[in-house]
């Protein structure tokens, strides 16, 4: 599964946003691309994509449902540096 999001720089002209992943449940691979968003002016927009993959190929329906519930507890942070 892939989720794309748009970030708008509402702060200073120049800013750098970095993605940090925490509390990833066992059995999931979560990645963010790009991990760093660089802005050169105010109100500039950038897109990032969060990808979620299951590590096991054969899952029963109940386990899949449980994993989808756990995704809500995984944290993806974008921190501003600049």
Residue 29, pLDDT > 70, answer yes
pLDDT tens column, 56-81: 654 554 455 555 555 555 555 555 55
C-alpha–C-alpha distance, residues 11 and 82, integer Å:
9
In 10 A of CB 9, how many CB atoms?
A: 22
Q: Confidence band (pLDDT; 50, 70, 90) for 27?
A: confident
The residue written with tokens 């329906």 in the block is: 61
Domain residue limits, the chain: 2-81
Can you give the pLDDT at residue 53? 81
C-alpha–C-alpha distance, residues 44 and 17, integer Å:
12
Q: What is the pTM of this model?
A: 0.64
C-alpha–C-alpha distance, residues 27 and 15, integer Å:
34
Q: What is the largest CA-CA distance in the chain?
A: 49
Which overall architecture, per CATH, does domain 2-81 show?
Sandwich (2.60)
């Amino acid at each position: 599964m892939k989720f794309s999001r748009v970030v708008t720089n509402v702060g200073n002209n120049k800013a750098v946003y970095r993605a940090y992943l925490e509390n990833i449940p066992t059995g999931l691979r979560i990645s963010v691309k790009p991990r760093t968003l660089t802005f050169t002016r105010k109100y500039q927009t950038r897109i990032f994509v969060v990808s979620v993959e299951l590590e096991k190929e054969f899952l029963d329906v109940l386990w899949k449902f449980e994993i989808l519930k756990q995704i809500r507890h995984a944290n993806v942070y974008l921190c501003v540096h600049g």
